Structure 1
Amino acid sequence: MRLKDLSSQMWGAPRKFDPNVGERRVSWLELFFDLVYVIAISRITHHLSLHLNVHGLMEFFIMFMMIFWGWVNGSLYHDLHGNEGLRTRLMTLWQMIIIAGFSITLDNTEDASYRNLTITLMIMQLYITYLWWSVGLYDQSHRKYNLPYTILFLISFSAMFLSLFVSQDWLRFLIPIVLICNYTPPFIAKLILQRDRLELSLSSSMFERFGLFTIIIFGELVLGVVNGMSEARPLDGIGLVNFIFALSIVFALWWIFFTLTSRAEPKSGFNAATFIELLFIPALISLGVIAACFNNLLAVAGPNPTVNKIFIFAIATLLISIGLLLLVMYYPEQFEETRIKVRKSMWWAGGFFVLFALITPTMNVTLFLGVLLTFILILIFVLNSMYYTLLQRQKSDKNEDDG
């Protein structure tokens, strides 16, 4: 009996679902799990840099959506049901193997690549389906919550399987079915939670994971700059200026994103949690596109109007996404007025970049990067002015109260 209890404890059944579970630190296992996604994101970003056109952007979008879906489900499972047992660690290992295999298939020939990619994604689909379904084996009360996941994920798997035997014309119908089925279950689960008078919010540890995943993507921007400079010939003074401008843009975008989000907390409730998850998608995709654009811009000395427009639209998408994220985050009460102004400023800035993309003249790389950096620095100055004006006003109010 003791041996059986010891084995059960070492194996570690999934932690029972509890929407009111206490806060926790992100574990080293989760950080290790994220590392394999560095490779996957890097591979699809490099693929985009070689095919920076409408078709390449669509491929990048689809692959990113599947990778992000796998990461979110694996991360949420660990956040809700993970423990220190052997089962949790093995489950993490299996998903890491699948994602690493996905990265390998990107190097195949075009026909083999699609077949192998699809088979790899089907394996991940079954794995994620089992991940949620298996919780019900240990906790019967959880079965009604994982039922929509099991059904819709299996429908998605069937659509993937069917895509192996039909012409490419059918993909325009099957791929949306896959994505819709994969991203719909949480909304159905919400209705079941409401019926049971339960409310699920995004934990601080999961919100931190989103931040760490974003840093992974920012690393791709730095890699895009480095790869572009490695291919640039000749490496002269102009190249050095381009290098400095490019890294400065990366740092400025990082400053804006994390200054506005790192001190905020996600609003409570399922709706806020879901919208945060969904709003990170356009923000992260835009960062991946910017990384691919850096590779192209810096490697080629002459003007590239198409890449310039894609680059600017990506920045606009990022800024608008940050503004939308501020809708589902809260700050201390004294910052509420400034938060509203900042949110509107991000939307105005995003609109400005959209307009700039539509009317931008042909420019060489140095001038283009310099102009972009100037616009972004102006935005940072405006945001800083709002913040320090608020601090000064609060300080004056405090002095008046003390007086």
Structure 2
Amino acid sequence: MRSGINSPAWWGAPKKFETRQKDRRVSWLELFFDLVYVIAISRITHHLTGDMSAAGFLEYICLFMLVYWGWLNSSLHHDLHGNSGLRTRLMTLWQMMIVAALAVVTNKYPDDHHHSITVVFMIMQLFITYQWWSVGLYDKNHRRYSWPYTTLYLVSFGLMGLSMLLSSAWLAFIVPLILICNYGPPFISHILLTRSSNELDLSSSMFERLGLFTIIIFGELVLGVVNGITEVEVLDITVWLNFAFAISLVFALWWIFFTMIARRHAKKNFIRASLLELLYIPTLISLGLLAAGFPSFFGEASGSSLQDLFCYGIAIFLICVSLLTGLLEYPEVFDKIKNPMRFSIFFTGVVFAVFPLFDFDLSQPGFLLSAIAILSAEILYLNFVYFRKLSKEGLEHPDDQT
């Protein structure tokens, strides 16, 4: 077994991923780290609120995918190699500074080339590349698995720098290449792990982190509702009804998501884990779209086009939840009811997708009530199927068992 440089215990060399702690709890440092991303997500969502055009939405997708990539890599690095040493805490601090800087420049220095944002993303790109590369200094065996990350991440870094020298028209070609380079390494590493008879799964703590990140986005939905209601000059009974209906809509989406996702485990296999992480992207972006739309939804200029946008956002969210459940492990009681439950969620997503085709002329309360009614029907069905199964089998709720 080859080893790299030695370091004192107080410094804390990165731990080897072969020695992962089973059922590790999410640390306070990780929770503090996630708070900075609350601010970054809030800023880019606010940026989308100011430009709800197709171009603005595409820009939001790109920004979100880069922010999510930064969070995912740092979270995975901590999950695999983090410890309580000084090295881990300092690297977390530096990453928090970078993300906070991103939040500062998101709306402060707008320009066609996005120079300020690009510079911050380049710093993040280089720092995360260093994170993966530096593990090989302490464990030389790790280098065979990390080279796809360091190589492709450096390519992305170069493409970001190149984008600052070219006209903005080139962004349509460069940004997709950057995203491919950033999200491609896990699939190459999977081949390397398979050849060496190693396997890497998504840990329970990392899956919990994904759930916590989702909570951040749900928080943005609530903030969007609050901001939208705040902009209304006269808070009459109709406005307060809209407020109650909107919060109920957000809660219904949360209910469906965490009913199917909470307290589960990802299926074994590195590819499945990577696909699960990628599938969270459209899931969270759809919620971000709703969060950005709420501040305008309660205004007088709000119309059917914004209602249609909400329908599409909810549709994508529900369809993604249905797909996510296929990558999770469930208790045996779910064996016969899992597929019907998945199909019902998928079908409800399709209902929202075709809802705009009927061109209903609904008021704001009418639309919100209609959406809540459809989601409530789905929630009632999920609970009916699940608890009827438990009653027939004479079983306790598996999530309540200790």
- Secondary structure of 2:200's match? coil
Deviation at 1:20, TM superposition (A): 5.5
Matched with 2:221 is 221
Is 1:16 the counterpart of 2:16? The answer is yes
- Paired letter, 2:290: I
Residue 43 of structure 2 contacts residue 103 of structure 2 at CA under 8 Å; is this kept in 1? Answer: yes
Q: Distance in 2 between matches of 1:274 and 1:205?
A: 15
Residue 263 of structure 1 contacts residue 331 of structure 1 at CA under 8 Å; is this kept in 2? Answer: no
Moved more, 320-329 or 358-367: 358-367
Residue 242 of structure 1 contacts residue 365 of structure 1 at CA under 8 Å; is this kept in 2? Answer: yes
Matched with 2:326 is 327
Superposed, 1:310-349 pairs within 5 Å as: 310-349=309-348
Residue 6 of structure 2 contacts residue 138 of structure 2 at CA under 8 Å; is this kept in 1? Answer: no
Q: Distance in 2 between matches of 1:358 and 1:94?
A: 49
Matched with 1:142 is 142
- Paired letter, 2:64: F
Matched with 1:399 is none
1:11-57 C-alpha deviation (Å, 9 max, x unpaired): 11111221754221110000000000000000111111111121111
Matched with 1:266 is 266
- Paired letter, 2:263: R
Deviation at 1:160, TM superposition (A): 0.4
Superposed, 1:249-288 pairs within 5 Å as: 249-288=249-288
Matched with 2:193 is 193
Matched with 1:379 is 378
Matched with 1:130 is 130
Matched with 1:400 is none
Residue 333 of structure 2 contacts residue 390 of structure 2 at CA under 8 Å; is this kept in 1? Answer: no
- Paired letter, 2:76: L
Q: Distance in 2 between matches of 1:7 and 1:183?
A: 31
Matched with 1:114 is 114
Deviation at 1:361, TM superposition (A): 2.2
Residue 36 of structure 1 contacts residue 96 of structure 1 at CA under 8 Å; is this kept in 2? Answer: yes
Matched with 1:401 is none
Q: Distance in 2 between matches of 1:99 and 1:263?
A: 29
Matched with 1:25 is 25
Q: Distance in 2 between matches of 1:270 and 1:305?
A: 43
Query: Which protein is richer in helix relative to its size?
Result: 1
TM score, norm. by length of structure 2: 0.94
Q: Distance in 1 between matches of 2:378 and 2:246?
A: 17
Percentage identity across paired residues of the two chains: 50
Residue 23 of structure 1 contacts residue 204 of structure 1 at CA under 8 Å; is this kept in 2? Answer: yes
Change (3 A) 1:182 1:314: same
1:255-275 C-alpha deviation (Å, 9 max, x unpaired): 111011113221111122111
Q: What is the alpha-carbon root mean square deviation over aligned residues? A: 1.6
Deviation at 1:367, TM superposition (A): 1.2
Alignment gaps of 5+ in structure 2: 396-402
Residue 17 of structure 1 contacts residue 80 of structure 1 at CA under 8 Å; is this kept in 2? Answer: yes
- Paired letter, 1:337: K
- Paired letter, 1:287: L
1:165-219 C-alpha deviation (Å, 9 max, x unpaired): 1111111110000000000000000000000001100000000000111111111
TM score, norm. by length of structure 1: 0.94
Deviation at 1:288, TM superposition (A): 0.8
Matched with 1:62 is 62
Count of aligned pairs between the two proteins: 391
Alignment gaps of 5+ in structure 1: 397-403
- Paired letter, 2:202: L
Q: Distance in 2 between matches of 1:263 and 1:16?
A: 26
Matched with 2:155 is 155
Q: Distance in 1 between matches of 2:326 and 2:204?
A: 17
- Paired letter, 1:304: G
Residue 106 of structure 1 contacts residue 113 of structure 1 at CA under 8 Å; is this kept in 2? Answer: no
